[in-house]
Structures are given as C-alpha cells and as structure tokens.
C-alpha cells in the first residue's frame, strides 16, 4: 500500500486542485508533482512567477498558498505498480467532506486529469453538486495528447477566481 501526502491548504484557500496519487518520483522526493517532466509546477511558474523556476518545494508550497490554491490527492491509500493511474487498485479515498467543511472558503474543485475526476465522482458524487468544478488535462508526462501551451491555457482559465 502507498499513502498520499497531507493536503497543502490554509484558511485563505479558495480553489482545491485534486490529483489521484503521487507518482513514484513524488513519493521518493516526498513532494507533490516531483517528476521532472510533469508540467504542474511549470504551469504554476508560468502563471504566477512569469516563468521563473522554483528553487525548492518550500517555494512551491508558498506560491500555491499565496494564490489561494490548495492541493490534495483523491486517494489516501492504494496499491499501484509504477506511477500510471491505470494501475491503481484497492483504493481508499481521502475524506474530502471533512476537509471542505473545515475550509469553507473553497468554492471550486479542479481535477488534474480524467482519472482524478472519475475517482472523486465514484467516492464523492454529492460534492460535485455543491461545488463548481473543472476537469483539466492531466499534467502527467504520460498525457502527451495536448501541447504544453494548450494545457497552460486551460489551466489558466480554470484557475481564475
């Protein structure tokens, strides 16, 4: 069984970005989206740092919180060989009901990929009725169907408050 990270969230967070489960690289690094070819932090850098690179994970977390964002993954525990979402088995979901009750300023959910949305819908369909939500193209290097520029444009639109 692998375990996800705690959420990155504070009392000012308004948009919750939801992934599936950290990749092997992320689990090894103990950081969200640590795979060097995952576009997540590059997108955040383009949107919030004029494209400048982050120095470390502490800077990344500070940027997320400074822009009223939050991060968490769908699954608290699961089994998975490798990093592909398609290999996920024996899912145990995170408690989004409690998280959202404890953070009433969250008004929008953004799903990092279709698999993230499908898992959330399976375990928390009632929350989808309460919150505005967007399903965005995955930032994973496994998702090569869209160009970086197209992903960036879609993420930029969804992240507007």
* Catalytic center residues: 38
Q: Which residues contact 56 (CB under 8 A, 6 or more apart)?
A: none
In the block, residue with structure tokens 């408690």: 95
Distance CA 77, CA 90 (A): 8
CB-CB contact of 100 with 6 (8 Å): no
Q: Tally the C-alpha atoms within 13 A of residue 118's C-alpha that lie toward its C-beta.
A: 8
C-alpha triplet 36, 156, 53: angle, nearest 5°: 35
Which DSSP state fits 8? B
């Amino acid at each position: 069984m692998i375990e996800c990270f705690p959420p990155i969230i504070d009392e000012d967070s308004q948009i919750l970005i939801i992934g599936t489960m950290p990749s092997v690289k992320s689990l090894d690094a103990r950081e969200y989206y640590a795979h060097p070819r995952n576009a997540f932090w590059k997108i955040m850098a383009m949107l919030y740092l004029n494209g400048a690179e982050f120095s470390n994970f502490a800077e990344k977390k500070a940027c997320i919180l400074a822009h009223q964002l939050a991060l968490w993954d769908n699954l608290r525990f699961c089994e998975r060989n490798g990093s592909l979402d398609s290999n996920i088995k024996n899912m145990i979901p995170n408690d989004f009901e409690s998280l959202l009750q404890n953070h009433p300023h969250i008004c929008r959910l953004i799903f990092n990929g279709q698999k993230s949305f499908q898992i959330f819908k399976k375990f928390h369909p009632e929350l989808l009725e309460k919150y505005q939500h967007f399903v965005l193209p995955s930032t994973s290097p496994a998702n090569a169907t869209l160009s970086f520029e197209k992903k960036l444009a879609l993420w930029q639109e969804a992240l507007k408050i």
